[in-house]
Each structure stands twice: as structure tokens, then as C-alpha cells.
Amino acid sequence: MTSSTLTSVYRLFLRTVSVSVLHQRSACLNLRRRWRPVFDAAAKVSLELQNVPAEAAQAYRLERLAWLVDWNKRIDNTLALLYNSANTRGLAHQVTRNLAHLAGLERVRALASTRRLPKWNPQGATPSQAKLLKTLEIKRLKAQFVANGLGAMNELVRVAEGSAGLAMGRQDFVVRRWTDQN
């Protein structure tokens, strides 16, 4: 797959995503963020195939080609799902709408969990050891609950991908913090 073919598939995908969520800006952005790593991986494999040295093993080349063929099938099925979502308001539309909503909620949760710490006040009273331990335990339990929920959701997405031959995207949200150097 050449880079121009991959680019045109990605552009088609972006247009289809936009239509499938009725051009709602936030839902469209959430789905684009969710599926971007899938296309990045395909671009990386495509570039590897184009730049493979002559002395590379034939098995490596065939393995990468098989991955790319499987990826093409999954993206075709995903485009069909999104097209169906755009034309009907049935199950496919509910799946894309809910996937966009979940991606947005995860983004909000990740941003909220990285709030700035309060400034230290040297004259302020220090919390007691028991209160501090209780607060840390509550934070640990909350983080464990969120991790378990996300793990279950990601597992459900992988099952759906495997059974239907779709690419449902990845929940790879990275919070970028500004430093003095930026």
C-alpha cells in the first residue's frame, strides 16, 4: 500500500466518521483521536515495506504484507459500519455514538486527573498522618476502579473487533504537560 493510497483511505475515513455522527464536532474529534493510532500503525508498516532492504528475510516481508492485508479488511469493514451508521439510525449508529461518547469521557477523566497541585503553604497546618493515609487509600481505590473499568471496556472492544473483523480504534490518550522549556 503506497502512502498516497493510505492517505486517501484516511481522508475517506475522516469524512465517513464525520457523517456517521451527524457532523457533531465533539463526537467527530473524539472518534478521530480514537482511530488515529490505528492509521499510524498502518503507515508505519507500509513505510517498513517500502523501505525494506534487499537482504531482509522473505518471511519478514510476508508477515508484514499479511498484517497489511488483514488491516485493509478490517478498515473496509469499519468503513461499512460507519457508512451504515450514516444512513440508518439503528445499532451501527448507536455503537458509533456511544464509542464517541466514551472516548470523550475518558479524555475528560484523564485531563481532570492531572490537575495542578496546590501551592505549598509553609505556615499552613499539616494534615494528620491518619487523614493523609485515608486520602491516599481513597485515591488508590478510585484509580483501581477506573483502571478496572477501562480494562473491561478495552476487552469488550477487542472482542468486538475479533468477532466482527472491525478496527474500533485505541484509547491512547496522552496528557501533555507544559514545562518551562515549551
The DSSP result for 154-173, as a single string, is HHHHHHHHHHHT--------
Taking only the tens of pLDDT, the chain with its 182 residues reads 677 889 999 999 999 999 999 999 999 999 999 899 899 999 999 998 888 877 778 888 889 899 999 999 999 999 999 999 999 989 989 989 988 988 888 888 777 777 666 677 777 766 677 787 888 899 889 888 887 877 777 787 788 788 888 888 777 666 665 544 44
Distance CA 146, CA 142 (A): 6
pTM value? 0.75
- Domain ranges in the chain? 3-113+127-164
| Cβ-Cβ contacts under 8 Å for 177 (sequence gap 6 or more) | 114
β strands within the chain, DSSP E: none
CA distances from 66 to 25, 47, 122, 148 (A): 35, 15, 62, 33
67 contacts 52 by C-beta, under 8 angstroms: no
